[in-house]
Amino acid sequence: MKSLRTASVGIVGVPMDLGAGRRGVDMGPYAIRYAGLARDLLEMGLEVTDYHNLTVPGPESGDVGWPRARYEQLIEEACLALRNCVADIGRKGNFPLVLGGDHSIAMGTVAGLLDARGDVGVLWVDAHGDINTPETTPSGNVHGMPVATMLGLSGLGARLGWTSRGLDPHRVVLFGTRTLDAGERRAIRELGVRMFTMSEIDQRGVKACLDEAISLLVGRGGIHISFDIDAVDPLEAPGVGTPWPGGLTYREAHLAMEVLAATGEVSSMEVVEVNPIADHENRTGKLAAELILSALGRTIAG
């Protein structure tokens, strides 16, 4: 088992649900911390600095704005603060660990990683493709647009730099996908983004698919895991923003994180869309914390 690139983890929470169509994921950072995350990281021998939560306004305090990208201005402001925090953690040589919040926060996380490292491979573990644009979205919810934004497709995120520096489509891999809108299918096909659907994972197995994904993502800036907890089947993770049946099992999700940890190439992580309102006794918050520990190298052997 290889170790992390660093023994120091910097945690930041982003209590935001502006990008979602359902309230509650703003409480996700509290639920994951409550599950004992920092304590368990310390028990693994890691140094932990918790930068607490960013201040994010609720939807009551702002204008919806453009209905094709609801609350986009407020989301961008929160992502700017997150970009600066992640860049600071990364420049110190530490491991940025971001707790969401809805998945639109990834626009700020990855912008900060690029500021600090210049390059990063993004493993997008999610039931959804999140590659809609304001033109293709059926909902106007920005948490369905971060991949498109980071690829320079959406026209959003100008202050984050995404209209001038998009990620290379070959540095993004979608993993665990099981529902797409028509515009997303078209964008994935035209850009050549590698996608491992649940159907392919069922046929080939988690490890074979993940080994291929890792081979595509390894690079100078390491691998960033952007994990939407709805990638896991709702039977295992009931407390999520947008549940969809047929996802990864408990063991498949842990195996994926264990395989990634073994590479020694994981350089940052975010876990998003934990919704305590829809959860049962913080079951999903605990699972999120456990998956983080697996990704950072915890095994049954210690």
Q: Which tokens is 213 given?
A: 């994904």
For residue 166, being part of any structural domain is answered with yes
CATH number of the domain that residue 130 is part of = 3.40.800.10
For residue 219, being part of any structural domain is answered with yes
For residue 288, being part of any structural domain is answered with yes
Confidence of residue 285 (pLDDT cuts 50, 70, 90): very high
- What pTM does this model have? 0.97
For residue 270, being part of any structural domain is answered with yes
The rounded distance, in Å, linking the Cα atoms of 17 and 220 is 32
For residue 97, being part of any structural domain is answered with yes
pLDDT digits (tens, 9 = 90+) for 16-51: 999 999 999 999 999 999 999 999 999 999 999 999
Average per-residue pLDDT in the chain?
96
Is residue 302 over pLDDT 70? no
Which has the closest alpha carbon to 4: 252, 257, 272?
257
Q: In terms of residue numbers, what domain contains 78?
A: 8-295
Instruction: Give catalytic residue positions.
Output: 103, 126, 128, 130, 143, 228, 230, 273
For residue 136, being part of any structural domain is answered with yes
**Cβ partners under 8 Å of residue 60, min gap 6:** none
pLDDT digits (tens, 9 = 90+) for 45-63: 999 999 999 999 999 888 9
The mean pLDDT value for 63-78 works out to: 96
State the residue for tokens 């290889």: 2
| pLDDT score for 1 | 38
| pLDDT score for 5 | 65
